[in-house]
Chains A and B, each alone.
Chain A
């Protein structure tokens, strides 16, 4: 049952990811992206990482994707606005990506990942309580630095978005 769910979510994720790449309309790309993130949230729940599932759901699907959708609708993009690359370079790009995939699979094929120890296994590590303890005990400094990063990003976004005096005002 859970195995079937894993395969279903995997195929849904890959299908939606391919949809992001091949969609002509940017709005459809964003909607496929939201579907990808939804399936990844399901993966996190399957892996018993509840905190990350919630964060992925709220931050990625809620905030980041709405920001993307907002910008795309704000810029009024449609299918005819994007010029496409020549077919030859698309084929070359697909071959390059596919070869990277083959090389990675070949390199990872024989890797030994049997390192789970049932005796010391703790299924509760992905819960909010456990992760919160680790976050505020071992990773307090990076957590505080992340807030500084957010402040800098916010100031930078506001500054970049502001209209300069000498700028063309056609928009």
Chain B
């Protein structure tokens, strides 16, 4: 038995619950024969993949649903072997090049050239071209995007590319201008309710209003998450939906909440490392904790806390050791809060506090250098990279 998310995933454009206008556009584009390269973008759980699958079905008929999964080996110029999983049917091929990190360019070039140079042999096929779906296009490296640019122009007759991304910010302009942009916004609350009720009806149970509301609020516009929660709740309550529900959050989320509380109350960020070691992306950790912390502090601090969150998030991307930056941010938050409550000015006056924080940084840096420069504390790690600044 499959999950409800898959079981009730709409298969055709007509069956889609929301963004009717978009579906109409897609349908008419598929029918017109002049199908452009496309770029779907929008927040996760908004239905990008579903729309792509439906469009493919509209283009090629039910044949696209016969999928097979292949594992292919590519070789980089430096003789390194890369394993890539590929999902394909007779008419399309789906890849996630960002899986192989900086070697994504090799995969893109090889696969696209291969597809582009073979023509459709099935005479009964509806379209002459094949479709290549590239997932997570926004994490493609610049090189890979540049490689795409040339191929998109050259092989237009045999191939169409559908890119799927969360945002267009990280795509280079030449790619954007070659694609037809399709924005898939997250569904509104009304639309989500309709979708949830549809599933409830198909599964033959009653969904109480407050439960529905709760689920929608919790999901934050992510329909996939909403459906998963709905299914989990149904499993918990077996026969009948109890009205006062308690949505179980994933472990890491409640953990983040706990860390946020600890930061505010006890001023210790002990459990950060644990989160990271469980493979929760550091950006997500930072964002979730920041969100929680902001809810608990005074209005005047909120802006600053978010400012430093944004600041250290970028540092985290540039730097190499994520935990340094997370801890640096936590220290920042704690010192901001101390400053606020006790009026302790960290620039030189409250030297005892400075000493405490300094010791903390010492531990964080583990052998790095901590300097006090003109009343401000600067931490540098072994490579001399700036990691903390108070």
> Are A and B bound to each other?
no
Interface residues of A (CB under 8 A from B): none
